[in-house]
Amino acid sequence: MDHRTIELRTAFKQSFGSDAQVAVRAPGRVNLIGEHTDYNDGFCLPMAIERDVLIAYRSRSDTTVRVLSLQQKNLEIFDVGPSEGNRIHKSSQVSARWADYIKGCAQVLREEGLKLHGVDMALTGDVPLGSGLSSSAALEVATMLALLGANGLTFSAEKIAKLAQRAENTYVGTQCGILDQLSSACAVHGQAMLMDCRTLALTPAPLPKGISVVIADTGKRRGLVDSAYNERRAQCEAGARALGVSHLRDVSMAGLWQARQAGKLDAVALKRCEHVVAENGRTVAAFACLTSGNAEAFGQLMDQSHADLRDKFEVSCRELDDMVAISRALPGCLGSRMTGAGFGGCTVSLVKDEHTSAFASSLASAYKKLHDLPMAVYLTCAAAGAGPVVLG
């Protein structure tokens, strides 16, 4: 039992007067390649990380939900019984917006026709918030597990991911794809996964031997709802309509140029579409690199991905670009790119094991000379997907 589990169990009893029945966890994720392709029905290549959200819970006999966040040091209370308009009200205070992810999960379960009992929950997590490592998806998936468990229900991991995505789309207001939630719910220990976001098929692939995955947090934060994320999604959808397809998954690079010559796409739309089409190809190629053990080629594809995200999709920023440039110049680095939606957050790099320690310290030192931000470097292994935790 680690210190977080002990702290969570203690806080639960102090706040709610009894012991929790059970606990669940859901991990964050890092996307190795395949960015902004999920909502275009494309391909991604994520893995779960060893940082997660933990929720201890106990069911109630009424319809009251009480949620204690150890990170936010805040208690949120709401009701999941029938209400006027049948909608759970969003949090009115900015300091309690974290609770909207939990309320959103309860809302979509009610929309599924479930009559929910109340539950007491205490939660904590070590996925850095706003980092591009899917802290929100980890919270949503863990919440789904807790709400279902408190009501004696079980759903498949895939359905939990879909419901969690719907909560973020329809309640929180971020038009994310399925990448984050599916990664958190369905990841396989020790494996990356080729994710087909159209069929939701997941194909595990081993990480290269002798290679470490290093995540570097720039310290630059962004809010997805307030950022250009939803704008980029709308641009992709408009591009698909102009090209006569439902999603950019069905477009080739040759088709893009034909559409440009025919006047169907302006310069900005062409750049957005070019990134998505090329990124889908890179992701499939990267999966082949994993299956053949070609880490060097994988790293080159990561480098190409970052260039397109910076120049064509325009979701990078100075901090991310600097972090990537520093990483690539260090010994042992095979490739580096921004990961997540962009506008801040983290980079991910492939580094030879014998260089990992020096890489981490040199990267931190060089970056701090450029930016006075609370950066951090994390080494991680591919973790398992969401599931129960023993409280002891």
Query: Rounded to 5 degrees, what are φ and ψ at 32?
Result: -70, -35
* Candidate list 180, 308, 322, 372, residue with the active-site label: 180
**Residue 169 token pair:** 């789309």
Largest CA distance in the chain: 69
Name residue 390's amino acid: V
* 161 neighbors 185 (Cβ within 8 angstroms): yes
Task: Note the Cα 149 to chain centre separation in Å.
Answer: 23
b/e sequence 38-59, b meaning 16+ C-beta within 10 Å: bbbbbbbbbbbbebbbbbbbbb
Query: Rounded to 5 degrees, what are φ and ψ at 190?
Result: 80, 5
Give the gyration radius of the chain's Cα atoms: 21
* 123 neighbors 141 (Cβ within 8 angstroms): no
* 135 neighbors 49 (Cβ within 8 angstroms): no
Name residue 9's amino acid: R
Chain position carrying tokens 């080629």: 297
Q: Give the β-pairing of 387-389 and 346-352.
A: unpaired
What is the Cα–Cα distance from 160 to 144, expressed in whole angstroms? 7
**Residue 370 token pair:** 């450029």
Q: Give the β-pairing of 64-69 and 119-125.
A: parallel
E-state strands within the chain = 22-33, 43-59, 64-69, 74-79, 119-125, 191-196, 202-206, 211-217, 333-339, 346-352, 376-380, 387-389
180 is catalytic: yes
Helix/strand number for the chain, H first, E second: 11, 12
Q: Which residues contact 224 (CB under 8 A, 6 or more apart)?
A: 136, 174, 176, 230, 341
Which residues are catalytic, by number?
180
